[in-house]
Amino acid sequence: MQDHPSTAPGSFAQGSVDSEAWLQPIPESQRTRKVSGQFWIWAGANLAPINWVLGALGIHLGLGFADTVAVLVLGNLIGMLLFGCFVLLGQKTGATGMVLARAAFGRRGNYLPAAIQALLVIGWCAVNTWIILDLVMALFGTLGWVDPSSANYGWKIGVATGIMAAQVAIAWFGYKAIAAFERWTVPPTIVILAVMSAVAWFGMDINWSYAGPAGNVLEGSERIAAMSAVMTAIGIGWGITWFTYAADYSRFVSTSVPKRKVYLASVLGQFIPVVWLGVLGASLATNSGEIDPGKLIVQNFGVLALPVLLMVLHGPIATNILNIYTFSVATQALDVSISRRKLNLFVGVFSLAAVVFFIFQEDFAAVLDAWLIGLVAWVAAWGGIMLVHYFWIEKRWPGNADRLFDPVGTKRLPGINWAGVVSLLVGIFATWFFMYGLVPAMQGPAAVALGGWDFSWLAGGLASGATYAVLGPRAHVRYLETAPVETTIDSQVPVERITQ
């Protein structure tokens, strides 16, 4: 690793190129005042087939339709409301999520969460690309191009390679290209999905009163346990997984835009499509019990699936261009001197390798559940620390956001803030302790003792936040009181530019 060059806090190079951008605050003159872009970005990221699967997962795990919808609505309402807080942090500071974390974890201590984030987005790219791949194979089978009863490994790997190349190509051009892609593709996709939903809900045999598998309806403690597990994976847990992404895109919004507008646009952009597609997936699953995304759509829509699938393929691509972009800025937060475009290529290669792994996994429900619940273990803990730091500690003892962009060795931030690191580890342990996943390794003692009740997200967030509330203020105030102002200047550092 090398330390990338640093500008003076608040200074910006002229004539910069987006593809070579380093992690500097986005200047006010280069931010947009159009809040609608935040809605389209987050709506596009969630208008994806994975959200059909999330709704169907509740039915697959034994819940009734009403219980699944209740978990979806309530869980995502709570999760997205908290997500909006991280959106506001990006707008306020012009910093990415992993740069913001330097205040809580230290200038070098932040390498830990930044590395975790970089690795996790590779997994998300794999999961989302696998779902695109499965839909394409289902479409090819309907057209007679492949034998749907065969493994088709060669076809799958070939198509996955092409899809990954398309995702990398869009992310290659940075925020402007991502925002434009979402702005022009989300509205027609919404129209198609509206037609699709109408056909499903008014023209198909949906069992709206579905209460669970015949002869095996969950009741009492088992029902609560199943609801809590689904809440962790697809309710509050779904909103939590976006915490680390939020500031990466809201940092491009002008501080002159009212916070309320930015908050609502981002939260609604997340909430509406997640709940909508989750309900659609759950309703379709009531008459098939299927969770595999290709079978779920083709079995229910038949010939109508052809035009629908061609349009809906946009969703996972829209999600993965955010994953690829976030990977690049998270990796740069490790002080790696590699341009963003080169990092985009790296994540494409690594994600494709992960896709191949998923291709050979037969029990997709178990793989997906283990993946989603595993994510909560670290994001809930990270989120608890960040909320305490920025909405309590820095409210009482304000810190200058410019210090987040100081080079390694700065006197205005600790090298390693052990208060943050220890709090993160405590939160991750607490999350696991109260977690009840499908995989035995993801079943903590407390959750087992409670009969499968899963309150991992709550335990992790509260444990890390409470620990940091005790340990964090002392370290924060010490550096504010003693640190001199640094003025290191290097005019060669480029910065991302966007049109307003």
Q: Where are the domains of the chain?
A: 27-365
pLDDT at 299: 65
What is the distance between the alpha carbons of residues 133 and 236, in angstroms, rounded to a whole number?
27
255: tokens are 């501080």
* Helix (H) or strand (E) run with residue 150 in it: none
| Range 27-365 has CATH code 1.10.4160.10 | yes
pLDDT at 496: 40
pLDDT along the chain (500 residues), means of 10: 37 37 78 92 88 81 88 92 96 94 96 92 84 75 78 88 89 87 90 84 85 73 81 81 94 95 96 92 78 61 65 80 93 88 89 85 61 74 96 89 90 94 96 83 88 88 97 87 46 37
pLDDT at 138: 73
- H-type helices in 241-363, by residue range? 243-250, 259-285, 293-301, 305-312, 314-332, 340-359
List C-alpha distances in Å: 391 to 88, 209, 289.
11, 43, 43
- H-type helices in 360-416, by residue range? 364-388, 394-396
pLDDT at 80: 93
User: Which among 332, 485, 471, 416 has a CA at the least distance from the CA of 103?
Assistant: 416
pLDDT at 290: 60
Phi, psi dihedral angles at 187 (to 5 degrees): -55, -50
pLDDT at 355: 86
CA-based diameter of the chain, in Å? 71
pLDDT at 83: 96
